[in-house]
Structure 1
Amino acid sequence: MPIPTTVSTSTPVAEQGKHVFHITGFSKHMGMGDHDDDGFIRSGNFKVGGYDWAIRLYPDGSFKQWKEYISVYLELMSINVKKVRAAYDLRLVDHSTGLSSSVHKAEPRMFNSRDGSRFAPQTPLFMKRNELESGGYLRDHRLTIVCIVQVFKEPQVSECELRPKIKVPPSDILQHLGRLLETGEAADVTFSVAEQTFPAHRTILIMRSPVFMAELCGPMCEAKTQHVIIKGMQPAVFRALLHFIYTDSLPMMDELSADDRSEMIRHLLVAADRYAVDRLKLMCESILCEELDMQNVAVVLALADQHQCNMLKDACLEFMSSSMDDVVSTAGYVELQRNCPSVLVDALVKMIQWFK
């Protein structure tokens, strides 16, 4: 049985903003010093995701040993904020084309306004000044920095709901095959059983019975065999055999009396053995085993012996061992004694072995 399954979905929630910071007269900002001299220029505060941010620029580099570089940082300006998860992209505008190109980009990371993690990136090596001048980023002493910030908040999780189910109906292939047998549509072979005719389909028969395969497709049959005469079988039994071959089930026998039904099952066992339909044979054996009584056990024993139904034969012998006195007075036992004496000898030997 399928396990009930519920589904929820987590969706990232992010707010994105962009700030453009123009620095005019860039050359006049040179010589401001480094980090120790507070030699930086800061943009106006801009808000993204409910937090204040700013761009900090060191024209002479934020450390003396890197004075040939400019240092650019994104800075979290909100006070007493411990955890802000954000991604950023610091870009420079090429004034010859008007397009911006990324210089430093980072995936989401944590910002804390109380320590050094409020700055990003964690490197002063943003760009060398000579590359800044040769790359078209300085024009008329004007530098433009673009910062794109994406702030991630708590993910949005949907309420749990049952996973949608598509109900698949049970297989109905056997019903279709049963109707095919009933209507005879597209039949390519017919059987005559005691002057009754049964249309059938060669492919289904050879698929279900190796005997039918040999008879309909083997080297001894004619290539265009379309009509087969069945001897030594009653029409009702052959009809029941075909029903099982097409539907893998026994036909309804409600209209038969108990004795007639038992006789039909015995005949069907013989037919199943004749055409090597093994599952049908076992089903008949099982039914006969469940319905054993003093009146039929001898008849069933003879049948089991004749058609190599060893499990059914053992069941008959075990049944007879417990009520032999009653069995010997039946007509079936007399018939068995007259026609199959060897079976009785085997039965007596086994019963003696059981009693030892």
Structure 2
Amino acid sequence: MTSSNIKTTSTCYPPEVVQGTHVFDILGYSKHRGLGAQSFVRSGVFSVAGHDWAILLYPDGYGVELADGMDFISAYLRLLSTGDKVHVSCDIRLVDPATGVSKSAQPALVTMRVLDPKESRVLHCMMIPRNELEGTYVKNDRLTMECVVTVRKEPRVSKTRVFPRIKVPASDIKRQLANLLHEKEGADVMFSVAGEIFTAHKVVLAMRSPVFKAELCGPMSQTGKQPIVIEDMQPDVFKAFLYFIYTDSMKGSDDLEADYQSENCEMIHHLLVAADRYDIARLKLICQSILCKNIDVRNVATTLALADQHHCDRLKDACIEFMSCLSTMNDVVATQGYQDLARTSSSILADAEGRIAKLRKCC
């Protein structure tokens, strides 16, 4: 099973701020007073950041100042456009007619707010005492206001891109080592197995097997050019054995156990013997696992004998547990493997029968 981790990237840029100033001149200021509570004077429509706005000035006061009986004049910014929410602030600056200099009427109200066209479209920008406004900023019945509107747009986010990466191919050392075995380049040792010649590399064999290391690199190593004769092993078994030594796998199978069923168990028997003989623990354990999965009535006695002979305690336990689960041993006793075991190694059977009796008693 493979997994991949795809890394992506995007960038959020600082929000753009757009500012516009609208100058609102109110001539005949006094004529706009006394029209009643909540009456207002509206500026012309002006545009900032793609939105339309207007200033509303309430000469007779509006809202909370009326309710509390205070004599204040208020101004509001009104959003006329429809659409999305807008982040906005408004600074009402009153122009001093004596100097021409404008001054923020109420700096505390100059904060960024959100106007939602679906709910509230007005922003309170100014609330100033009447006597201050009219005494300082109204001259010749004229009031001049500068409305500085600041709109903060939504931050721009770049398109998501796949982060650059360098793909590393799967390891092919298994294929390279298999080619090394097959092509025989640099081979420095030969074996004769039932008359068939095999070539190999001492360093690979010594690295994988302490027995081969002693035979090929130790003080008693065979250094001649003559092939080393391997007794009691068939060529096809030795070939499969060498392939495992080089690749740590069985030929034609990435899953070391999946492709081996009961019809292949004879080869697995021979490989287990070879693994025990040359002290290759992983191969020996793999062979035990395969044989354990394929235990049946016909081969359990043979497998038990093999496990005992080659010190495979876990496989031996599996055989005894299998037999303890059988309702009757008659079918096992009738097999040739059981007859051979009874004739050659009765002590193994005696030990197995004693353990089976204990297991059944526990159940």
In 2, are the aligned partners of 1:188 and 1:226 still within 8 Å (CA)?
Answer: no
Runs of 4+ aligned structure 1 residues displaced above 6 Å come to 256-259
SS at 1:190's partner residue? strand
Structure 1 residue 12 displacement after superposition: 8.1
In 1, are the aligned partners of 2:190 and 2:199 still within 8 Å (CA)?
Answer: yes
Matched, 1:189 2:192: no
Choose the corresponding residue for 1:332, options 329, 334, 337. Answer: 337
Corresponding residue of 2:310? 307
SS at 1:181's partner residue? helix
Structure 1 residue 164 displacement after superposition: 2.6
Percent identity over the alignment? 52
Corresponding residue of 1:277? 280
Structure 1 residue 221 displacement after superposition: 1.5
Corresponding residue of 1:268? 271
| RMSD value, Cα | 3.3
In 2, are the aligned partners of 1:216 and 1:225 still within 8 Å (CA)?
Answer: no
**TM superposition score normalised by structure 1:** 0.56
Distance in 2, Cα, partners of 1:332 & 1:223: 42
Structure 1 residue 288 displacement after superposition: 0.8
**TM superposition score normalised by structure 2:** 0.55
Corresponding residue of 1:124? none
In 1, are the aligned partners of 2:301 and 2:337 still within 8 Å (CA)?
Answer: yes
In 1, are the aligned partners of 2:261 and 2:294 still within 8 Å (CA)?
Answer: no
Distance in 1, Cα, partners of 2:11 & 2:268: 59
Point out the more displaced range, 194-203 or 2-11.
2-11
Distance in 2, Cα, partners of 1:210 & 1:257: 27
Distance in 2, Cα, partners of 1:342 & 1:329: 19
SS at 2:323's partner residue? helix
Corresponding residue of 2:354? 349
Corresponding residue of 2:240? 240
Matched, 1:4 2:9: no
1:272-329: CA deviation from partner (whole Å, max 9, x where unpaired):
0001111111111111111111111111100000001111101111112214221001
| Superposition pairs of residues 68-147 of structure 1, within 5 angstroms | none
Amino acid at match of 1:6: T
Distance in 2, Cα, partners of 1:269 & 1:257: 14
SS at 1:164's partner residue? coil
Aligned length: 226
Structure 1 residue 227 displacement after superposition: 3.5
Structure 1 residue 236 displacement after superposition: 1.1
1:96-123: CA deviation from partner (whole Å, max 9, x where unpaired):
xxxxxxxxxxxxxxxx9x99xxxxxxxx
SS at 2:169's partner residue? coil
| Superposition pairs of residues 244-259 of structure 1, within 5 angstroms | 244-252=244-252
SS at 1:265's partner residue? helix
Structure 1 residue 166 displacement after superposition: 2.8
In 2, are the aligned partners of 1:10 and 1:155 still within 8 Å (CA)?
Answer: yes
Distance 1:351 1:164, change over 3 A: same
Matched, 1:172 2:179: no
Amino acid at match of 2:202: R
